[in-house]
Amino acid sequence: MKIKRQKQAKKSITFYKYNFRFREPFLILLDGTFCQAALKNKIQLKEQMPKYLMGDVQLCTTNCVLKELETLGNQLYGAKIILQRFQVRRCSHFKNPVPASECLLSMLEDTNPQHYFVATQDPTVTDGLKKIPGVPLLYIVLNTIVLDKPSQASLDHVRAVQLGELVTPAQQQSIRSLKEEQGIGRKDGERRGKKRKRKQSNPNPLSCLKKKKKKGLPTPPLRKAEPGERRKSRHKRRKKGDNMAAAAVINT
C-alpha cells in the first residue's frame, strides 16, 4: 500500500512539475483542519511531508487561518500551536480577516500563480480549489497524508494547452524552454518527431533506388551485348555436355 501511494504521489508531482511549473521547495498551504487531523493521527508534518512529496517543502499558512483558530477555542489549540510555527504568507485581508476557507481560495486566485499545494480537510476549500487548474490537494486519510490525483480542471487545462487553445506562441516557447531545462519532456517530443520523419521520408526513396538497381543489372540484353559472356555461356554448355558424357561413360 505504501509503495502504491508513493508511486501515485510521484506521478502526480511530475504532472504538476511539467504542466504547472511547480518547483522545490514546494509551498504547502495548511489550514487548521489539516493540522488537527495530523495531530490526531500523530503525523509529524515537518518530517512526513518532505518524505511523501520527495522534495524540500515550505509549510505555510495565512493570518486569517490563525485568527479563525483563535476564535474556535480550546478544541483546536493543538492545531494552532502547530500552525504558528509555520511561515505566515501575506493575504489580502490584513485589516479584516475572513474565514479560513475563503482566505485559502483567495490565495490561489484564478491560476495558482504561487504554486501552492493546499493541505486541508475542509470540503468547502477542496470543492473550490478543484475548479482551479493546477492546485495539488493534500488531505489525511487513515493515518496517512494523501496527495489527491489531478482534478478534472487541471487535466482539461493541460489538454487545452497541448492543443494550443489557451497559450500564446510566446508562452508556448517558454514552456518548451522549461521542458528543455528539465530534459525529459523535450526528449520525448524529439523522439516522437524523429520516428515519424524516418517512417515517412527515408524508407520510400531508399527502397525505390534499390529496386531500380536490382531490376537494371540482371536484365538479359546487357549480357547478350557482351561477347565474352556468350563465349562463357558456350563453355558452360560444353562443360555441362562433357560432364553428361562422362557420367554416361561411368554408368555404362
Pick left, alpha or beta for residue 10 (phi over 0 → left; psi -120 to 50 → alpha; otherwise beta).
alpha
Instruction: Name which position in 9, 53, 64, 76 contacts Zn ion (CB under 5 A).
Output: 64
Give residue 112's identity as a one-letter amino acid code. Answer: N
- Pick between residue 36 and residue 62 the one whose CB is nearest to Zn ion: 62
Q: What are phi and psi of 98, to 5 degrees?
A: -115, 170
Pick left, alpha or beta for residue 112 (phi over 0 → left; psi -120 to 50 → alpha; otherwise beta).
left
Residue with cell 517558454: 174
Choose one: 19-27, 49-57, 64-72, 159-167; the region binding Zn ion (CB under 5 A). 64-72
Choose one: 93-101, 156-164, 176-184, 229-237; the region binding Zn ion (CB under 5 A). 93-101
Q: Is the distance from CB of 202 to CB of 194 less than 8 angstroms? A: no
Instruction: Name which position in 91, 104, 135, 140 contacts Zn ion (CB under 5 A).
Output: 91
What's the N-to-C CA distance of the chain in angstroms?
A: 88
- Pick between residue 91 and residue 137 the one whose CB is nearest to Zn ion: 91
Number of residues that bind Zn ion (CB under 5 A): 5
Q: Is 76 in the site for Zn ion (CB under 5 A)?
A: no
Pick left, alpha or beta for residue 226 (phi over 0 → left; psi -120 to 50 → alpha; otherwise beta).
beta
Choose one: 17-25, 74-82, 84-92, 234-242; the region binding Zn ion (CB under 5 A). 84-92
Q: Which three cell numbers stand for residue 164?
A: 494550443
Q: Is 103 in the site for Zn ion (CB under 5 A)?
A: yes
Choose one: 42-50, 62-70, 154-162, 200-208; the region binding Zn ion (CB under 5 A). 62-70
Instruction: Name which position in 10, 89, 93, 130 contacts Zn ion (CB under 5 A).
Output: 93
Beta strand 26-30 with 144-147 is unpaired
CB of 93 to Zn ion, least distance (A): 4
Q: For the purposes of burial, counting CB atoms within 10 Å of the CB of 22, is it exposed (0-12), middle (13-18) or buried (19 or more)?
A: buried
- Pick between residue 13 and residue 64 the one whose CB is nearest to Zn ion: 64
- Pick between residue 103 and residue 108 the one whose CB is nearest to Zn ion: 103
